[in-house]
Amino acid sequence: FHLSGVVTQPVSHTPAKQVYKVAITFDRGRITSCQCTCCETATWCEHITAVCLYRVINKNSIVLRAPVSESLTKLDRDQLQKFAQYLISGLPPQILPTAQRLLDQLLSSKESEINILAGAPDPTAGASLSEEANWVLDKVALCENIKKILARFCGPTPLFYLNCDASNTLTAPPPISMQWSNYIRSFQGHEPEALWNLLFIVRHMSAQRDKNSEYLLEYITKECLLCYQMMYYWVTSSSSFQVCTDKQNHNGNLYGQLHSKRDLARHSSAHLMDEIVKLWELIVMSPHLSAQEKANIMLKLQTWNDQVKDAARKGQGQTNSNSFNVKMYKDFSGFKTAQIAGTKDWQQFYSIIGLSQEKVMKDDICRKEKEKENEMQTYGN
């Protein structure tokens, strides 16, 4: 379905207002495409958001119209000719070549595609039931924002040490207390917060069976794999080889602060990556995946599991910790749990409970058809 709107925005220090035209396409509760005349490089802009919010808040005052194809059937020949001519005159000059090309094809004696096929596309009528309704994603802007988040999280931060009294080194908390405190803070703080918010969105989209949850999680995973220091923290935190047991790293308040920050970053990185692996477990276990889709995901998981080791070795050079040790891989599972989850056979599960997978899929298709009918009654052009 199509939603259009005009947004007026005041111009600073002038009484004039800037006018922007917004066009949004949505299907089954998801925005599948959006455009705005503000010439923003990003897919989403403030004007598109304003139109969406206005539509939600003032849903009862919005004029609902039938699809264009249905309205055209009610026009006679003269009305159709007027509609076409007024439409062409109201469009920008750049559209005229397209209009002339369509006329040439319709008037041509040759068997062109437009003359052979019955009917014509109607973007205002909504997508067919077989098509996937996915949220529109701005991949470039999304990946760039994730890079900035990881750079702020894993990048070097200044350490201010104001009191240099040597007596304060005697009052430093025990190493095990500092380690336990950082471990708890990594679970309670959910750092970096912006990235955790994206993971919460992925979980919600997975619950709604939105295919974009897989794409969004893939972008997050790839950007995290490129953050070598985070991969090193993930490996060391998940292994039996704990560098933090070295007492020399805890001697003195200054060294304690340095190591405390490093400990917190390591545990937070491991907590974040473990959550990413859990989300991949949910996605790969979906019974709605085809065999080819599941095979593609399993191949990605295996590739990423190999990349983690190389990234961790590179990330070791960005820290001042002890040299990299093979023992770190002893208890490190990486993406293996998601790979194991992908081997689950749903057909065997359905046979145990006395159902066939075909019946479950058929019931799901019926549910989608009912959702489509309800939405057609609720939304319009």
Q: Are residues 5 and 124 in the same domain?
A: yes
> Distance between the two ends of the chain, CA-based, in angstroms?
6
Residue 178 within any structural domain of the chain: no
Same domain, residue pair 220 and 324: yes
Distance of CA 242 to CAs 24, 155, 167, 328, Å?
Answer: 52, 22, 29, 8
Q: Is residue 179 assigned to a domain?
A: no
Nearest 5°: phi and psi at 215?
-65, -45
The pLDDT tens digits for 196-209 are 899 999 999 888 87
pLDDT at 379 (0 to 100): 47
Closest CA to 141 of 282, 32, 246, 43: 43
* 149 plus 280 within the same structural domain: yes
Provide the domain count of the chain. 3
Q: What is the DSSP letter of 343?
A: T
Q: In terms of domains, do 358 and 210 share one? A: no
- pLDDT confidence of residue 248: 41
In a domain, 171, yes or no: no
**What pLDDT score does 243 carry?**
45
Do 227 and 276 belong together in one domain?
yes
**CB count in 10 Å sphere of residue 321:** 17
| Whether residues 311 and 375 fall in one domain | no
- Whether residues 299 and 364 fall in one domain: no
CA–CA dist 225, 142 (Å, integer): 16
Range of the domain at 371: 353-380
So what's the pLDDT on residue 129? 59
Please give the pLDDT value at position 257: 46
Q: Does 248 fall in a domain?
A: no
Question: Which stretches of the chain score pLDDT less than 70?
Answer: 13-14, 40-42, 123, 125-134, 155-190, 238-263, 317-331, 347-381
Q: How far is CA 369 from CA 129, 348, 364, 366, in A?
A: 7, 27, 9, 5
Question: Is residue 168 a part of any domain in this protein?
Answer: no
User: Is there a domain that residue 221 lies in?
Assistant: yes
Same domain, 117 and 219: no
262-301 pLDDT, tens digit per residue, is 667 777 888 899 999 999 999 998 888 888 989 999 999 9
Do 148 and 297 belong to one domain?
yes
Q: Are residues 122 and 149 in the same domain?
A: no
